[in-house]
Amino acid sequence: MNVDLLITHASQLLTIPAHDQGPQRGDRLGDLGLIEDGAIAVSGHSIVDLGPTSDLLHKYTAAHTIDARGRVVMPGFVDPHTHVVFAGDRANEFEQRIAGATYMQIMNAGGGIMSTVRATRAASLDQLIEQTCSRLDRMLLYGTTTAEAKTGYGLDTATELKMLDAIAQLARDPPSDAVVLFDGKDLSAWENGDKWIVKDGVAIVKDTDIRTKQSFGDCQLHVEWSAPVPAEGHGQGRGNSGVFLADQYEVQVLDSYKNETYFDGQASAIYKQTPPMVNATRPPGEWNTYDIIWNNPTFKEDGEVDEPGYVTVIHNGVLTLNHFPLQGMTPFTQVPHYEKHGKLPIHLQNHGNPVKYRNIWVREIKPIEGKREREPYLHDDATGKDTPVKRPKFSKY
C-alpha cells in the first residue's frame, strides 16, 4: 500500500494508548504504550498505522521516509491554559528578587503584573501578534503543538478585545497543505516582487503589478489587505488594488469604507461584472481578509467555453459572492470575454495606491481520492451485529 510518509526506526515511539475507563489517571499515567524501533505511516493529514518498523516496512511504500534513529517520537504537548498574549518584559524583576526584594516592593516600585498590563495596553495589535508568534514558535520548539490562548492582561474592554483579535489572527495560520505566497519575510514567490516594499511583515504596493511564479487552477486563496492611512482621494482613486485570479479575473480591492464609487467597482466586487452582496470593508488602516474559492473555466478543444469560471468570496467572515459565474475576463476598456487557457498565475495589481498585503496563501483544490470499502450498514453495539442498509431504488450513489 502506498502512503505519503513513513517515519521509521524511532528508538522509542510513544503511543499513549486509550482506555475504556476514560482519561489516564493514577497508576495508568505510566502507561506510555512504548514501542521500541517504532514506525508511523502517514497518508494525507492522517496517521494510518503505527507499530514496529519491521512490520510497517513490509506493509507500506512511502513517497518520503524519515529515519528517526536515536530519537523519541511522541504526541505533542497540549497547553490548555496559557496567557500567551501580552507585551513587556519583566526579566529585571528576577534580579530584584535575587537581591531580596519582595513582590509587593517590586509592585509598589511600578513592577509586577501591572507593568505587564501597562505594556499590553500600550502595544499595537501588530506588536502583540509579533511577540505572541515568537512565544508560540518557542513553545513549538519544545514540543507544544496545541495551545489554548487566554486573555487577561488588559483589564479593560478595549485591550481585552485587542488581545482577542490578536488570538484570532494567529489562529488563521496557513493550513499544512497550503502554498505560502507571502509570510511577511519576502516576495520571492512573485515575479517583480523585488519592486514592492516589504517592511514590518507587510508588502506595500509600489511601481508595478506582481504575479506568482507558480500557476494555479482551482484553488482556495487567502489574502489580507489594508487601505492606506490617512485616506486620500475618492472613488476609484482611494486605496485601489486588485486580486486577479488566473491572471485576468479581478476581485476588486478598494477602500470602500464610506467611499462612494460605481457599484461593481467596490471592494470584493468582480470588477465591472457584479457588486458584492454587502459592503464588509473595514476602516482604513484596519486589516481586511478575503477568502476566495476559485473554479477555473474549462474549454473545449476549439476554444469554446465548456464551463465558466466561478468565484466565491468571503470578506471579513461575510459571504459577499456565492459561486458567481464570470462572464469572462475583467478589463477596464473591453467587454468581458473568454480566451482559452489552463492554469495561470495569481496577480496583485498596482493602481498607484500604497495598499498593504500580508498572510497570502493558496491551496489547490483536488478531488478526494478513495473508494467505498463496504456497503452501508447499521451496527448494534449491544450484539455486535451489522445489518446491511438497502439503497433507495432510484439512488444514483
For 275-328, write each residue's pLDDT tens digit: 999 999 999 998 999 999 999 999 999 999 999 999 999 999 899 999 999 999
CA 295/CA 312 separation, integer angstroms: 9
Cell of 365: 483544490
- Of 111-125, 245-259, 273-287, least confident by mean pLDDT is 111-125
For 53-92, write each residue's pLDDT tens digit: 999 999 999 888 999 999 999 888 888 888 889 988 888 8
Mean of pLDDT over the chain: 89
Determine the pLDDT at residue 21: 63
Q: Specify which residues 210 forms β-bridges with.
A: 348
- Domain identity same for 38 and 185: no
Asked whether residue 17 is assigned to any structural domain, the reply reads yes
Confidence of residue 103 (pLDDT cuts 50, 70, 90): confident
Asked whether residue 43 is assigned to any structural domain, the reply reads yes
Residue 227 burial (10 A CB sphere; 0-12, 13-18, 19+) = buried
Query: Using omega within 30 degrees of 0 as the cis cutoff, is the peptide bond preceding 297 cis?
Result: no
Asked whether residue 372 is assigned to any structural domain, the reply reads no
- Domain identity same for 132 and 276: no
- Domain identity same for 127 and 8: no
- Domain identity same for 40 and 100: no
Closest C-alpha to 186, from 169, 205, 199, 172:
199
Q: Which residue has the higher pLDDT, 378 or 247?
A: 247
- Domain identity same for 234 and 271: yes
Confidence of residue 96 (pLDDT cuts 50, 70, 90): confident
**Mean local confidence (pLDDT), 209-227:** 96
| Residue whose C-alpha cell is 501588530 | 126
Structural domain boundaries enclosing 45: 2-75
Q: Determine how many CB atoms are found less than 10 A away from the CB of residue 66.
A: 16
Single-letter amino acid, residue 169: Q
- Domain identity same for 258 and 327: yes
CATH of the domain at 323: 2.60.120.560
120, 147, 170 - which closes a domain: 170
- Domain identity same for 163 and 302: no
Cell of 243: 486580486
CA 300/CA 320 separation, integer angstroms: 30
30, 60, 75 - which closes a domain: 75
- Domain identity same for 307 and 262: yes
**Mean local confidence (pLDDT), 255-284:** 93
For 233, residues 6+ apart whose C-beta sits below 8 A from its C-beta are 239, 353
CATH of the domain at 13: 2.30.40.10
Residue 26 has pLDDT above 90, yes or no: no
CA 32/CA 28 separation, integer angstroms: 9
Q: Which residues of 343-365 are buried (b: 16+ CB within 10 A; e: fewer)?
A: ebbbbbbbbebbbbbbbbbbbee
Q: Specify which residues 310 forms β-bridges with.
A: 295, 325
Asked whether residue 143 is assigned to any structural domain, the reply reads yes
Asked whether residue 160 is assigned to any structural domain, the reply reads yes
For 336-369, write each residue's pLDDT tens digit: 999 999 999 999 999 999 999 999 999 999 887 7
Determine the pLDDT at residue 17: 77
Determine the pLDDT at residue 171: 76
Q: Answer for the pair 104, 36: CB distance below 8 angstroms, yes or no.
A: no
Counting the structural domains of the chain, the total is 3
Determine the pLDDT at residue 397: 53
Asked whether residue 254 is assigned to any structural domain, the reply reads yes
Asked whether residue 142 is assigned to any structural domain, the reply reads yes
Q: Determine how many CB atoms are found less than 10 A away from the CB of residue 104.
A: 9
- Domain identity same for 200 and 345: yes
User: What are the C-alpha distances in Å from 293 to residues 87, 164, 261, 362?
Assistant: 36, 27, 25, 10
pTM attached to this predicted model = 0.63
- Domain identity same for 223 and 286: yes
For 166-209, write each residue's pLDDT tens digit: 888 787 778 878 999 998 889 999 999 999 999 888 999 999 99
Confidence of residue 242 (pLDDT cuts 50, 70, 90): very high
- Domain identity same for 293 and 152: no
Cα dihedral 274, 280, 286, 291 sign: negative
Asked whether residue 25 is assigned to any structural domain, the reply reads yes
- Domain identity same for 90 and 236: no
129, 152, 170 - which closes a domain: 170
